[in-house]
Amino acid sequence: MKSIKLISGCLLSALLLFSCSTNNVPTNGDGIYNNPNLSGTYMQEDQMGRPAVNTVFVSSSSKDGFNTTVPSNQSAAFQSMFETNLLALSPAYANGGLNALGQDAAAFTGLLATDVLNVSLEGTTTFFDGTNILTGRALADDVITVELLLIFGGEDFSENPTLSNDNVNENDKPFLASFPYLASPW
Amino acid sequence: MKSIYSLIACMALLLSSCDKEPKLITNQADYNKYLEVVENEMLQLAYEDLEFWEKKLEKDSNQFPYLVKAAASQTLIFNETGNIEALIDAEKKLIEANTRTGFATAAYLRALARNYIAQHRFKEALELLNTAEGNGEKLLATQKMCFDVHLELGNTKEAKAYLDKIENYKDFDFLIRLSKWSDHEGDLDHAILYLKKALEIAEASNYKSLMQWSYTNLADYYGHDGQIQNAYNHYLKALELNPNDAYAKKGIAWIVYSHERNPKEALRILNAVSQSHNSPDYHLLKAEIAEYMGDLNAKEQYLKAYTNAVKRKDYGVMYNKYNALVYAEDYNVPQEAAKIALEEIKNRPTPQSYDLLAWAYYNHGNKSEALNIMETHVVGKTFEPDVLFHLAKIYKDNGKLTEAKALKRELLESTFELGPLMAKKIKNI
Amino acid sequence: MKNFKQTLGISLLLVAGLVFVAADHIDAPAVQGGTSDITDFYAFQGENTDNMVFVANLQGLLSPSATASATFDENVMIEFNIDNTGDNIEDLVIQAIPRNGKMYVIGPVAPSSPGLASVINANSINDVIFVDVTTYGSEAKVATKNGTSVFAGPRDDPFFMDFAQYSEIIAGNASGFNNPGSDTFAGTNVMSVVVEVPKAMIGGTGTINTWVESKRKQ
């Protein structure tokens, strides 16, 4: 009995020693296949590119499918649904109407149906700042108003004024200049 | 030294083999700390959360998402306290949120359906889920709930069809339902196996509430299977995660009462639980324990407290099953029991509901009609021991002794689940 | 903000909610899945303009008290996808996996294969940055290695919008927005994962297409 205890005591200290050494010199595989084990297959449940696109343009019954279709296949599978829903939602595209990007309904939904964020690696990154458009998405961007303007605002952002701005223009807490940029929680 | 050990071992052996002095499993040192009234942190947070959303609603009543958030807090408050008003208030908020969205948001429909399931309003829950299924968003989530409701309604075929639709052996939600289905089919071994697999996923997700749920449900299954030590350990695991888990404490009280035959200690536990968790169930359980102790006065008091509590309109049909049993057995008003049973059958025509009717007839002295109902609607359709106990009694009094004896053998294996009062009655079958 | 899942208000409290029924069984817990819902995605140039920042938010509409008990589902990987060849197929991924209260971040690295199924793309701990998930009420914990910084934990929800009025319009109950509008997300928090990487690691110049995915361990 006593000897068993002794042996397990030895084992324990050996383990402790071992764990000390792994802290200093990472062993190949640590933190991936053990301690912790991160390995395995992960299957997609949700995805997102541009803000609000899924809500506005994807019908309820297609949302599950849209969330698990790779972006490179989304346009072929969903562009026509996007166009139908856009035309049902907004009068701005009727009779050959365009948006401020000069796009008709087919062109605009052709862009949106591939739900990725286009981001410039050179310079300003913004959804729209008056000059740059779709070069990223910054925290302070009023993306909803930009999308409403593109959906309802017509060629020069002047159509359907009551629909093209939700009149919530900024966040309720200032962002940080440095990492992690998002404001501390309430 | 050695001889003392062997003496203890012998005594333990003697004790465990002896029917009247079962092996002690529980230990006050394990659970006393959970019986002291301490602040329920989770409950406190839920109250704060509710207050947050109600303040926002006051300021901005058209922001309907806040209604759903407030309802979620109220559901949690109901879970933690048993306070039925919270559940009913949550229902009102969820109805309003659904009205505002034209009953076209699947997630809101599911949230209201969940509320109805808690209230045992299964048919209304099913209607909402059917709408949600038509809507199609998060279809699997809806179909999982469709399984739950169909099973409660006794629509076994439909339940199985939904179970097939959601099959995914890596999914917690599927595994707990497969487990439930296995239990429903009388296959307790697989019920335990699948719940253990689900528990592994819950533990890997590190989500405390899911782990807690899995521990208590697994504990229940272990109890049904006669693995009392395992059951006890898992109730304790749940309490480690949430010291206020009333369900786990009730489970331990049941072990103390039913397995260890220590009614006084069981009552002590239950009295501690019912201080912070206000559910009529406790009165019933205490009444049973009082009867076992031979204190009929106390039993009557507890029964009175129970009937007073469930009189509240808010409880709706939630306690129909227990009311039917209490009226049939304790109050000796089988007509009232039959009335409730018929309502239950209308709400959900399950073998369990028909059992209540048969039991009312039996207690009214109409044993042949009781047998008739059992044979038409119950026999071979459920494996629940309390139902089988009724069936055995009805068989016996109808002279079907072979059937009664066969059931008796089965029931003797379920005495832990049924409790000592029933155990005594089973021996007389 | 993606499909306003967070505005649906289906909180984790509800996910957690085990309905105590007056019967001899407990109901099944609310169906899982809310823990993998992405509420928002951002990509912007960092304070150091040589860097790019990616933000994924989950579990929206958390009140301060709910935030205190919010955690990441440790079976769910957050994966930032980067296409720098213009075909909308990811050439690089940044994977973030929570485990035991830490967030493990791998990449940017080429995925072993693009698409819906992912495996860990790291050979050793050297390829991984990890950071303690910041707890509510404490200073943001940040880990930095090889020019990459990571953060995980509760933050103020940066999104702002009058979601309720938008819904009334869609439902045909209102003809326009109110002025002023009401920010549905005011005073609420989210669970965030923020990763900042040198632009040189993701293509250096030109334009990328990027999106974020949540993936559940099988």
pLDDT tops 60 at residue A135: yes
Say what the pLDDT of residue C170 is: 83
Phi/psi for C199 (5° steps) reads -55, -30
d(CA B247, CA B282): 11
Condensed to tens digits (0 to 9), the pLDDT of residues B310-321 reads 999 999 999 999
Is residue B388 domain-resident? yes
Question: pLDDT band for position B20 (50/70/90)?
Answer: low
pLDDT tops 60 at residue B49: yes
Is residue A82 domain-resident? yes
Distance from CA of B19 to the nearest CA of A (A): 35
Q: Using an 8 Å CB-CB cutoff, list chain B residues near A62.
A: 136
Nearest to C182 among B63, B78, B177 (CB): B63
Is residue A131 domain-resident? yes
Same-domain check for residues A91 and A5 = no
Same-domain check for residues A68 and A131 = yes
Q: Do A166 and C100 touch (CB under 8 A)?
A: no
Phi/psi for B356 (5° steps) reads -60, -40
Q: Stretch B40-47: mean pLDDT, rounded?
A: 91
Condensed to tens digits (0 to 9), the pLDDT of residues B229-239 reads 999 999 999 99
Q: Do A118 and C115 touch (CB under 8 A)?
A: no
Mutate to test the interface with A, among B139, B140, B203 (most CBs of A within 10 A): B139
Same-domain check for residues A80 and A142 = yes
Same-domain check for residues A4 and A68 = no
Say what the pLDDT of residue C28 is: 59
d(CA B172, CA B210): 9
Nearest to C2 among A27, A52, A71 (CB): A52
Nearest to B117 among C5, C22, C27 (CB): C27
Beta strand segments in A49-177, E: 117-120
Task: Name the domain count of chain B.
Answer: 3
Same-domain check for residues B414 and B328 = yes
Comparison of pLDDT for C20 and A32, the residue scoring more: A32
Same-domain check for residues A84 and A12 = no
Q: Do A64 and B138 touch (CB under 8 A)?
A: yes
Sign of CA dihedral A27, A31, A35, A38: negative
Interchain CB contacts (distance < 8 Å): A and B = 17
Say what the pLDDT of residue C83 is: 98
Distance from CA of A7 to the nearest CA of C (A): 30
Nearest to C166 among A43, A166, A185 (CB): A166
Q: Stretch B144-155: mean pLDDT, rounded?
A: 94
Q: In 3D, which of A37, B426, B64 has the Cα closest to residue C119? A: A37
Same-domain check for residues A36 and A67 = no
Is residue A95 domain-resident? yes
* Last residue within a domain, chosen from B255, B289, B314: B314
Beta bridge partners of C106: C95, C128
A61–chain C Cβ distance below 8 A for any pair: no
Low-confidence ranges of chain C (pLDDT < 50): 1-26
Contact B170, B190 (CB under 8 A): no
Q: Using an 8 Å CB-CB cutoff, list chain B residues near C71.
A: 206-207
Nearest to C63 among B53, B110, B319 (CB): B53
Is residue A28 domain-resident? yes
Task: Name the domain count of chain A.
Answer: 2
Q: Do B111 and C217 touch (CB under 8 A)?
A: no
What domain range includes position A19? 1-40
Is residue B409 domain-resident? yes
B106–chain A Cβ distance below 8 A for any pair: yes
Condensed to tens digits (0 to 9), the pLDDT of residues A56-76 reads 899 999 999 999 999 999 999
Q: Do A60 and B135 touch (CB under 8 A)?
A: yes
Place of tokens 């059937």: B403
CATH of the domain at B300: 1.25.40
d(CA C37, CA C4): 10
pLDDT tops 50 at residue B161: yes
Beta-carbon contacts of residue B173 (< 8 Å; ≥ 6 apart): B140, B141, B144, B166, C28, C31, C32, C33
* Last residue within a domain, chosen from B281, B314, B347: B314
Q: Using an 8 Å CB-CB cutoff, list chain B residues near C163.
A: 63, 65
Is residue B112 domain-resident? no
pLDDT tops 80 at residue A120: yes
Nearest to A48 among C41, C186, C187 (CB): C41
Q: Using an 8 Å CB-CB cutoff, list chain A residues near B135.
A: 60-61
Comparison of pLDDT for A70 and B410, the residue scoring more: A70
Is residue A92 domain-resident? yes
Is residue A167 domain-resident? no
Q: Which helix (H) or strand (E) holds B327?
A: helix B320-329
Sign of CA dihedral C2, B172, B249, B238: negative
C170–chain B Cβ distance below 8 A for any pair: no
Interchain CB contacts (distance < 8 Å): B and C = 173
Beta bridge partners of C207: A120
Same-domain check for residues A17 and A60 = no
Give Dmax over CA atoms of chain C in angstroms: 64
Say what the pLDDT of residue B23 is: 79
Report the length, in residues, of chain A: 186
Q: Do C22 and B63 touch (CB under 8 A)?
A: no
Place of tokens 């319009």: C169
Same-domain check for residues A15 and A57 = no
Nearest to C217 among A42, A47, A169 (CB): A42
Q: In a 3-state reduction of DSSP, which class is residue B113?
A: helix
Is residue B39 domain-resident? no
C196–chain A Cβ distance below 8 A for any pair: yes
Contact C17, C29 (CB under 8 A): yes
Q: Which two tokens stand for residue B198?
A: 């689900």
A64–chain B Cβ distance below 8 A for any pair: yes
Same-domain check for residues B340 and B422 = yes
d(CA B76, CA C19): 8
Say what the pLDDT of residue A34 is: 76
Mutate to test the interface with B, among A1, A61, A166 (most CBs of B within 10 A): A61
pLDDT tops 50 at residue B183: yes
Same-domain check for residues A8 and A88 = no
Q: Using an 8 Å CB-CB cutoff, list chain B residues near C26.
A: 213, 216-217, 247
Condensed to tens digits (0 to 9), the pLDDT of residues B56-71 reads 999 999 999 999 999 9
Q: Using an 8 Å CB-CB cutoff, list chain B residues near C73.
A: 205-207
Report chain C's mean pLDDT, rounded to a whole number.
Answer: 87
Same-domain check for residues A21 and A90 = no
d(CA B201, CA A152): 46
Same-domain check for residues B344 and B328 = yes
Same-domain check for residues A81 and A107 = yes
Q: In a 3-state reduction of DSSP, which class is residue A44?
A: strand
Identity (one letter) of the amino acid at A133?
I
Say what the pLDDT of residue C24 is: 39
Phi/psi for C217 (5° steps) reads -65, 135
Same-domain check for residues B249 and B304 = yes
Identity (one letter) of the amino acid at B176?
I
**DSSP H stretches of helix in chain C:** 12-16, 64-68, 163-170
Say what the pLDDT of residue B19 is: 47
In chain C, domain spans: 6-216
Condensed to tens digits (0 to 9), the pLDDT of residues B75-94 reads 999 988 999 999 999 999 99
Is residue B407 domain-resident? yes
pLDDT tops 80 at residue B309: yes
Contact C88, A72 (CB under 8 A): yes
Same-domain check for residues A34 and A112 = no
What domain range includes position B428? 319-429
Q: In 3D, which of B244, B313, B309 has the Cα closest to residue B275? A: B244
Q: Which two tokens stand for residue C119?
A: 């495996």
